[in-house]
Amino acid sequence: MVASGSVLLKAGKEKSLQRRHPWVYATAVAQVIGEPANGALVDVRGSDRRFLAWAAYSPGSAIRARCWSYREADVIGPEWLRGRVAAAVERRNDLWACTNAARLVFGEADGLPGLVVDRYDDTLVAQIQAAGVDRHRETLLDALCATSGCTSVLDRSDAALRTREGLAAPGAVLRGPAPPETIRIHEHGVHYAVDIRRGHKTGFYLDQRDSRHALAVQVRAFVQRHGRGPRVLNCFCYTGGFSLAAALAGAAEVVSVDASADALALARRNAELNGIGGAAARSLQWVCGDVFEHLRQLRDQAERFDFVVLDPPKFATNQHQVDRAARAYKDINLSALRLLQPGGCLLSFSCSGAIPVDLFQKIVAGAVIDSGIDCYLRGRLGAGSDHPTLLTHPEGEYLKGLLLERTLAGA
């Protein structure tokens, strides 16, 4: 494929590409030579005209170019794209021993900026949200189906993001037959029904697989240590991911709170999928309501839990919302800490990309200080191996979590 134009950067704006950051912002562009179409291949050059990268051009986006490669010798075309897809799929091969659902392509981290593809059993769900990958959509979809063995592909692209990229909405079914309304997946022995058409993200929080498993491990250890099942509170529970992982690991009681009645209905169905019915189902409480308010109610009722999970939706979508988001994170963490039994554990998460890891830890530490409750930091949690982060693209590390243990002293 031959470049249809060149993007020349302003003096001093070369540094990010020299460090292999994959985005070129419009404010860094000094001149565009030629008339490259939306998604067309361009070469990006510094103010001294030296080659920096091959990129996909997007004339209407704040991110004016997304880099394919920093090697001038690379030939960006169908064969190169198929190689990137094959390498991404191969990197996930070790996951199939514990699950039938994983992220096959994670955008910039897999060298395919703007493309996210999740596999649910034998169905692929794609988000095509940048001009470059949209221009090569057919090649990429052919490669994905060939390497994964899947024949059905559903589109779940974010309409607002595509609009900002100057892209039209693609068809709902991109390949093969229309998939069923829900698809059954499993991970570490737990089964879930996933609504891939209307569910959050592409239907399920695949990025929390490792943390759900970590909670199950902690619950089993608790049972062995104390001879009883723990009491667990799961806030923003969605369709019951953490709740069912804890219940099947031996929790005596799991209270799950979410504002969505539809999500809770699917969570109850997921409990049945795992054989939790009849008298056993009474150990699961599904509460439809505002988490902030319910946490305060539990505090006023002097409730205590051995484990509390906080996995809220994105509180900050950009830098302008960081201060408000920080207050919200502190609020729920402060309430959760006051509900912990001495020796109990809090798993607290943020999926806001605008909140960096160090800031999130400072926010939670502030809640610890204000609560007057001492905690150990037992570990840091994050997305699984199918959601890798390039060190040159820290924006990809959106999910971060902390595992805290309340100390026994002063209980």
Which CATH number goes with the domain that contains 173?
3.30.750.80
pLDDT at 367 over 70: yes
Distance CA 18, CA 37 (A): 25
Same domain flag for 238 and 285: yes
DSSP string, 170-202: PPSEEESSPPPSEEEEEETTEEEEEETTTSSTT
What b/e readout covers 287-298, taking b as 16+ CB neighbours within 10 angstroms?
Answer: beeebeebbeeb
pLDDT digits (tens, 9 = 90+) for 199-257: 989 999 999 999 999 999 999 999 999 999 999 999 999 999 999 999 999 999 999 99
> Which of 179, 210, 233 is the C-terminal boundary of a domain?
179
Same domain flag for 31 and 92: no
pLDDT at 89 over 70: yes
Same domain flag for 294 and 357: yes
DSSP string, 243-301: HHHHHHHT-SEEEEEES-HHHHHHHHHHHHHTT--GGGGGGEEEEES-HHHHHHHHHHT
Same domain flag for 252 and 286: yes
What pLDDT score was predicted for residue 164? 80
Look at the alpha carbons of 143, 148, 150, 153 in this order and tell me if their dihedral is positive or negative. negative
Domain limits for position 107 = 78-179
| Residue 351 is assigned to a structural domain of this protein | yes
pLDDT digits (tens, 9 = 90+) for 50-86: 999 999 999 999 999 999 999 999 999 999 999 999 9
Same domain flag for 349 and 225: yes
Same domain flag for 27 and 163: no
Same domain flag for 153 and 265: no
Mean pLDDT calculated for residue range 257-262: 96
Same domain flag for 271 and 363: yes
Among 154-163, 217-226, 359-368, the range scoring the smallest mean pLDDT is 154-163
Would you state the structure tokens that stand for residue 305, as one six-digit string?
A: 């839990």
What pLDDT score was predicted for residue 247? 96
| Residue 186 is assigned to a structural domain of this protein | no
What pLDDT score was predicted for residue 77? 95
pLDDT at 3 over 60: yes
**pLDDT above 70 covers what percent of the chain?**
98
Same domain flag for 48 and 82: no
The mean pLDDT of the chain is 94
What pLDDT score was predicted for residue 167? 85
pTM, full prediction: 0.94
Same domain flag for 237 and 102: no
Number of domains in the chain: 3
pLDDT at 354 over 50: yes
| Residue 190 is assigned to a structural domain of this protein | no
Count the alpha carbons within 13 Å of 121 in the hemisphere toward its beta carbon: 14
Residue 145 catalytic?
no
Q: Are 144 and 124 in contact (CB under 8 A)?
A: yes
Distance CA 310, CA 364 (A): 12
What pLDDT score was predicted for residue 279? 65
Q: Are 174 and 153 in contact (CB under 8 A)?
A: yes
Mean pLDDT calculated for residue range 283-300: 95
pLDDT at 284 over 60: yes
Same domain flag for 271 and 371: yes
pLDDT at 174 over 70: yes
At 10, which CATH number? 2.30.130.10
pLDDT digits (tens, 9 = 90+) for 125-154: 999 999 999 999 999 999 999 999 999 999
| Residue 193 is assigned to a structural domain of this protein | no
pLDDT digits (tens, 9 = 90+) for 8-38: 999 999 999 999 999 999 999 999 999 999 9
| Residue 192 is assigned to a structural domain of this protein | no
Would you state the structure tokens that stand for residue 173, as one six-digit string?
A: 């079914």
At 243, which CATH number? 3.40.50.150
| Residue 225 is assigned to a structural domain of this protein | yes
pLDDT digits (tens, 9 = 90+) for 391-400: 999 989 999 9
Same domain flag for 104 and 37: no
**Residue pointed to by tokens 């699961």:** 284
> Which of 44, 69, 94 is the C-terminal boundary of a domain?
69
Identify the active-site residue in 145, 235, 345, 351: 351
| Residue 185 is assigned to a structural domain of this protein | no
pLDDT at 411 over 70: no
What pLDDT score was predicted for residue 166? 82
| Residue 107 is assigned to a structural domain of this protein | yes
What pLDDT score was predicted for residue 281? 76
